[in-house]
Structure 1
């Protein structure tokens, strides 16, 4: 929710954001650049700037899994 609040505040100021979880796989590289304690990890990062609205229309769509493939609902 912390990141969501930053994203909402950025949008209110005319900026776009993109969260990026994939950098968590490179914790050894990140650790060499940031003063992190041994028990700390970077689990998410965020790009912040001015988006290009026309780019989203040109890029190919990623295939999406149906909700049944990755979630289950019990008692609903």
Structure 2
């Protein structure tokens, strides 16, 4: 169970990624954020950004045009 959920459905690139960054900035290290997005760019953009950040992608899934990411907030 994630500590917070970000509903980014209906938002177009780059808003899901920007909102994800803002949410993570407000969270404590070790907390988990679940992001739900419908923009296909999120599938590529969020994992690519996380690879360059201190945050960790815990899981990623896709179902019925919805992309879900669980992210562990880094230090």
TM bin, normalised by shorter chain, reads: under 0.3
Larger fraction in helix = 1
Higher strand share: 2
